[in-house]
Amino acid sequence: MSQRVLVLGCGYLGRRVAVAWHRRGDCVHAMTRSSARAESFRRQGLEPVVGDVTDPASLVDLPTVDVVLFAVGRDRERTSQTMREVSLDGLRHVIDVMQGRCGRFLFVSSTGVYGQSDGEWVDEESACDPARENGRVLVEAESEVRDRLGNRASLLRLAGLYGPDRLISRRDTLRSATPLAGDPRAWLNLIHVDDAAAAVIACGDRDDRERTWLACDDRPVRREEFFGKLAELFEAPPPTFDVTRAGSRIDGIGKRCCNRRLRRDLGLLLEFPSIDEGLPAAVAATPETPQT
């Protein structure tokens, strides 16, 4: 049975989800700030909506749907906006309008809500006490979703996304033998963007009430393993690390995320269960020169 969905945040992840929903026969409304991008959506069979989550007046005509996906991230080109303005204030504006217009609400959060930094394992029940501002904003946003939408809400805490077109800058750094900043022993928690999209779709199809899902692949990897594998695939020298430079974006060696609930309860079979499968596929799909 087809459903009506609204995707807010048609970026690297959201656009894949929107297209996948459309291909299976759902009616997909996709919001963008750009009229030109709206036309691109229309050519793909999507129903474009022009609006901006930070502008409440632009949201008043959002459609009534079965499922809302909020996957909005801060646009790095709009440097004047903070994550709090987009991911918390913008979320509140959307809920104000959609509270009576949707059956389910899916909120894309991040494993940045966890503050553990000594290599501890974390899952959906682990304490969320992040040291970084972005993580604190997401903890507040998750509470907003739970408090205002109750059992209509599901939260997806995504690990770091990788996939096609997300590795170009790393390729150039590795090929130039530039030392990588940070601790090579630090843990990385990752998920291929196609598996993340599949997790969103599976979550949208479930009737679990007020559920939280941690979406990552089957095993965390240390930075030295990840970049070593990536260097091999790019035919670059083995990576070196400069631990005196802060660049890993974490304190300590980070946490290790467990996807047991995703696999056991959601029943998701990952196409790329680890970087062993995901990195070769991502590199193969990454052009030698950036696409314009």
Predicted pLDDT of residue 77: 62
- Give which of 184, 192, 190 is closest to 225, Cα–Cα: 184
Name the band, by pLDDT with cuts 50, 70 and 90, for residue 74.
Answer: confident
Given a cut of 70, is residue 79 above it in pLDDT? no
Predicted pLDDT of residue 93: 98
Predicted pLDDT of residue 1: 74
| Alpha carbon of residue 37 to chain centroid | 21
206: helix, coil or strand?
coil
| Alpha carbon of residue 153 to chain centroid | 17
From 3.40.50.720, 3.30.70.1050, 3.40.250.10, 1.10.10.10, which CATH number describes the 4-161+191-217+255-272 domain? Answer: 3.40.50.720
Measured distance CA(158)–CA(61) in Å, rounded? 29
- Report pLDDT digits (tens) over 49-66: 999 999 999 999 999 999
- Report pLDDT digits (tens) over 195-253: 999 999 999 998 776 699 999 999 999 999 999 999 999 999 999 999 988 654 556 89
- Report pLDDT digits (tens) over 113-172: 999 999 999 999 999 999 999 999 999 999 999 999 999 999 999 999 999 988 888 899
- Where do the domains of the chain lie? 4-161+191-217+255-272
Name the band, by pLDDT with cuts 50, 70 and 90, for residue 292.
Answer: very low
Cα dihedral across residues 31, 205, 145, 97: positive or negative? positive
Q: pTM, whole model, 2 decimals? A: 0.94
Measured distance CA(74)–CA(65) in Å, rounded? 24
- Report pLDDT digits (tens) over 261-277: 999 999 999 999 999 99
Measured distance CA(79)–CA(16) in Å, rounded? 25
Predicted pLDDT of residue 206: 86
Measured distance CA(152)–CA(116) in Å, rounded? 29
- Give which of 58, 64, 142, 140 is closest to 93, Cα–Cα: 58
